[in-house]
Structure 1
Amino acid sequence: MKRINLIALLIFVFTALQVQAQQSNLPPLVSVTGLGEVRVQPTEVLVSLGVETREKTLDAARKETDRKAASIINYLKKNGVDVKDIQTSFVTVQPLYSRGEYGITTPDMYMAVKTMTVKIRKLDKYDEILSGLYGVGVNRVDGVQFQVADMEKYKTEARKKAVANARQKATILTSELGAKVGRVYAINETATGDGPRPMYKMALQEAAVSDMGGGPSIAGGEVVITLSVDVSFIIE
C-alpha cells in the first residue's frame, strides 16, 4: 500500500513539473476580454397562457378544460397562427379541499389546468389575437417574451464586435508600454450569463389589453444580444 501511494505521489509531482515547464515556455502575452452587443427590434412574441377550470367532479373539470383548450387552438389557427407555433406545456388535475376542516377526505371540487406557449410572428396582430383569446376561454397569462426570428445572424454580428473590441483593448494596453500586438495565441467565447434579453421601453410584462384609448397594450422595446470573447495576443 505504501509503495502504491509513493508511486502516485511521484506521478503527481512529475505532472506538476511538466505543467510548470510548459507554462514557463509561454510567449509574452496580453490577455483581454472583448464585449459585443447588438440591439434589435423584436420580430415576434412568445406568450405563455392557459385555462384553469374548477368543477365538482374530476371528469367534468378535465372535459371542460380540454374543451376550452381546443377552442383556443382553433381560434389561434383561424387567426393565422401556425400549428407548429402552438405547444402544450403543462397539464394538471388536482382536488381542492375546504380549509380548516380536519380529516376531510372528500374534495369540494377539482381544478384542472392546461397551459400552452404560443408564438405570434406578427407583432401588429398581438392585441387583436390576445383580446380574442380571452373570449374563447383563456383566463391566465403567465408571461410574455419578445424575441427575434433570425437570432444566429445577430449573434454573429455581436461576436464580430466582441473580437474587434478585444483587439482594441489589447492595442491600447500594449501601446502604452511601447509594445505591439502580434498574432492571436488563444481565443475562447464565453457565456454572458443571461443570453439575449428584452429591454422594455415600458414596464409592462403582462399580456393585458389596454383600457385607455384603444392603443397598443405593450411596447416591444429592444432585444439585446451580448457575447464576450477571451483573447490572448502575443506581444511583439
Structure 2
Amino acid sequence: MKQVSALMTALLTGAISFGVMANTPDFAHLSTSGYGEVIAKPDMAEFSVRVVETTMTAEQAKESVDKVVSDFLSELKKQGVHVDNINSSNLYLSPQYHYPKDGKPELVGYRASRTVSVTVNELEKLNQYLDIALNAGINQVDNIQLKVKEPAKYQEKARVEAMRDANMKAESLAKGFGKKLKGVWRIDYNMPSTQPVIMRSMAMDAKVESSTYQDSTMVIRDRVDVVFQLD
C-alpha cells in the first residue's frame, strides 16, 4: 500500500513539474504587467425604482401598486421613452403579521411591491424621469447607475495605455540590467469588466440633485501581462 502511495505521489509530482516547465521559458526573460486607465464622463444612466404599499387586503394592495406603476409607465411613454428602455417586474405580494408575546401571530395586512427599471439615453433627462416617478407615487429608488454609451471605445484606450505601460517597464528594466529586448514570448490578457457609477439607494422624499451625477466620472481600467525574451 505504501508503495502504491509513493508511486502516485511521484506521478503527481512529475505531472505538476512538467506543467510548470511547459509554462516557463528556458531562456533569459523578464515579465511585466502593464496598467492603463481612462477617465470617462457618463452620458447615460439606468435606474430602478420601486413602489411599496401596505393595506388591509391583498386586493387593495395589488390595486394600489398596479395603479402607481401604470401611471408611471404611461407618463414615461408620453415623454418619448421607448418601451424597450422600460422593464417592469411582476407583483410581489406578502402577508404581514403581528407577533404578540403570547398567542398566535395575527394577520394585520398585506404588502405589495413592484419594481420598474428605466434606461436613460440622455443623461440630462434623468432628474425629469425621477420627478415623474415621484409624482406617480413611486416611493423608493433602488439604485442609479451612470454609464457611457460606447464602453468599448474607452476600454480600447485603456488597453493601449496598458500595453504602452508594459513596454516602457520592460525597456527600462532591460536597460537597467544591461540587456536588450529580443521580442515578446507570451501575452496574457483578461479584459476587466467596466463598473458603472452606482448612486446609493434613497427614499423618494429626498430629491436627487443633478450635481450628484452630472459631475461624476468613471475610471475604466485595463491590464496586460507580458513575458519578453532578452537578447
Judge conservation of contact 2:52–2:113 (CA < 8 Å) in 1: yes
Gaps of 5+ in 2: none
CA RMSD, aligned part only? 2.8
Judge conservation of contact 1:127–1:217 (CA < 8 Å) in 2: no
Per the TM alignment, residue 23 of structure 1 is displaced from its structure 2 partner at its CA by 6.3
Aligned pair in 2 of structure 1 residues 129, 30: CA closer, same or farther (>3 Å)?
Answer: same
2:65 is aligned to 65
Q: Work out the CA distance in 2 between the residues paired with 1:160 and 1:89.
A: 41
2:93 is aligned to 93
2:230 is aligned to 235
Per the TM alignment, residue 173 of structure 1 is displaced from its structure 2 partner at its CA by 1.1
Q: Work out the CA distance in 2 between the residues paired with 1:94 and 1:109.
A: 9
Aligned pair in 2 of structure 1 residues 154, 184: CA closer, same or farther (>3 Å)?
Answer: same
Aligned pair in 2 of structure 1 residues 82, 20: CA closer, same or farther (>3 Å)?
Answer: closer
Per the TM alignment, residue 61 of structure 1 is displaced from its structure 2 partner at its CA by 0.7
Aligned pair in 2 of structure 1 residues 143, 24: CA closer, same or farther (>3 Å)?
Answer: closer
Q: Work out the CA distance in 2 between the residues paired with 1:65 and 1:46.
A: 22
Q: Work out the CA distance in 2 between the residues paired with 1:156 and 1:110.
A: 51
Gaps of 5+ in 1: none
Q: Work out the CA distance in 1 between the residues paired with 2:52 and 2:201.
A: 21
2:45 is aligned to 45
2:115 is aligned to 115
- The SS at the match of 1:209 is coil
Q: Work out the CA distance in 1 between the residues paired with 2:7 and 2:99.
A: 68
2:130 is aligned to 130
Instruction: Return the match for 1:226 from 218, 221, 228.
Output: 221
- The SS at the match of 2:80 is coil
1:171 is aligned to 171
- The SS at the match of 1:173 is helix
2:156 is aligned to 156
1:38-77 Cα offsets, whole Å, 9 max, x none, are 1111111111111111111112212221221122112212
Aligned pair in 2 of structure 1 residues 22, 96: CA closer, same or farther (>3 Å)?
Answer: closer
Task: State yes or no: 1:209 paired with 2:222.
Answer: no
| % identity of equivalent residues | 25
- The SS at the match of 1:107 is strand
Per the TM alignment, residue 6 of structure 1 is displaced from its structure 2 partner at its CA by 5.0
Q: Which moved more, 1:215-224 or 1:103-112?
A: 215-224
- The SS at the match of 1:81 is coil
Matching residue's letter, 1:70: S
Judge conservation of contact 2:154–2:220 (CA < 8 Å) in 1: yes
Q: Work out the CA distance in 1 between the residues paired with 2:24 and 2:82.
A: 60
2:31 is aligned to 31
Aligned pair in 2 of structure 1 residues 18, 127: CA closer, same or farther (>3 Å)?
Answer: closer
Aligned pair in 2 of structure 1 residues 198, 21: CA closer, same or farther (>3 Å)?
Answer: closer
Task: State yes or no: 1:196 paired with 2:195.
Answer: yes
Q: Work out the CA distance in 2 between the residues paired with 1:183 and 1:89.
A: 55
Aligned pair in 2 of structure 1 residues 23, 205: CA closer, same or farther (>3 Å)?
Answer: closer
Judge conservation of contact 1:204–1:219 (CA < 8 Å) in 2: no
Q: Work out the CA distance in 1 between the residues paired with 2:28 and 2:90.
A: 56
- The SS at the match of 1:232 is strand
Aligned pair in 2 of structure 1 residues 169, 59: CA closer, same or farther (>3 Å)?
Answer: same
Q: Work out the CA distance in 2 between the residues paired with 1:115 and 1:109.
A: 20
Per the TM alignment, residue 104 of structure 1 is displaced from its structure 2 partner at its CA by 3.7
TM-score by length of 2: 0.85
Per the TM alignment, residue 230 of structure 1 is displaced from its structure 2 partner at its CA by 1.2
1:14 is aligned to 14
1:128-166 Cα offsets, whole Å, 9 max, x none, are 221122111211112111101111121111111111111
Judge conservation of contact 1:158–1:226 (CA < 8 Å) in 2: yes
Matching residue's letter, 1:222: T
Judge conservation of contact 1:44–1:123 (CA < 8 Å) in 2: yes
